[in-house]
Amino acid sequence: MPRTLRLILGDQLSTDIATLRDADPRNDIVLMAELSDEATYVKHHKKKIAFLFSAMRHFAADLEERGYAVHYRKLDEANGPQSFTQALIDAVNEFAPDRIVVTEAGEWRVQQMIEGWVEMFDCAVEVRADDRFLCTHEEFRDWAEGNKTLRMEYFYRTMRRKYAIMMEDGEPAGGQWNYDKDNREPLDGQVEIPDRPDWTVDAITQEVIDLVESRFSDHFGTLDNFAYPVTRRQATHYLNWFIEEALPCFGRYQDAMKQGRPLIFHSHLSALINCGLLSPMEAVEKAEQAWRAGHVPINAAEGFIRQIIGWREFIRGVYWSQMPGYGRSNKLLAQRPLPDFFWTGDAKMNCMKQSIAETRDNAYAHHIQRLMVIGNFCLLAGLDPKEVQEWYLIVYHDAYEWVEMPNVVGMILFADGGLFASKPYAASGSYINKMSDYCVHCDYAVKRRHGPDACPFNYLYWDFLDRNRDRLKDNPRIGMMYKTLDRFDDEKVETIREDAKRFLDAL
List pLDDT tens digits, range 49-58. 999 999 999 9
pLDDT number for residue 1: 64
Domain ranges of the chain: 4-128, 137-202+229-322, 341-506
Pick the CATH number of 137-202+229-322 from 3.90.1310.10, 1.50.10.10, 1.25.40.80, 2.40.30.60: 1.25.40.80
- Cα separation, 24 vs 26, whole angstroms: 5
Phi, psi dihedral angles at 169 (to 5 degrees): 55, 40
pLDDT of 119: 92
User: What is the structure's pLDDT at 19?
Assistant: 98
Q: Tell me what pLDDT residue 20 has.
A: 98
Three-class secondary structure of residue 189 per DSSP: coil
Query: pTM to 2 decimals?
Result: 0.96
Q: Which CATH superfamily is domain 341-506 in?
A: DNA Cyclobutane Dipyrimidine Photolyase, subunit A, domain 3 (1.10.579.10)
pLDDT of residue 147: 85
Output the CA–CA distances (angstroms, integers) from residue 104 to 28, 114, 167, 234, in the order listed: 19, 8, 32, 26
Which pLDDT value is given to residue 190? 84
Those residues of the chain that have pLDDT short of 50 are: none
Residue 216 DSSP one-character state: -
Q: What is the pLDDT of residue 76?
A: 93
Please work out, in degrees rounded to the nearest 5, the angle formed at the alpha carbon of residue 465 by the alpha carbons of 460 and 468. Answer: 115
| The CATH fold of domain 4-128 | Rossmann fold (3.40.50)
Backbone angles phi, psi at 72, to 5 degrees: -110, 125
Residue 475 contacts residue 417 (beta carbons within 8 Å): no
The Cβ of residue 236 has, within 10 Å, a number of other Cβ atoms equal to: 17
Pairing between β-strand 124-128 and β-strand 99-103 as defined by DSSP bridges = parallel
Q: Alpha carbon of 202 to those of 187, 229, 240: distances in Å?
A: 36, 11, 22
DSSP string over 408-456 = IIIIIS-TTSSSS-SS-----HHHHHHH-SGGGG-SSBTT--SSTTB-H
Please name which of 357, 371, 363 lies closest in space to residue 398, comparing C-alpha atoms: 363
Reduced to 3 states (helix: H, G, I; strand: E, B; else coil), residue 389 is helix
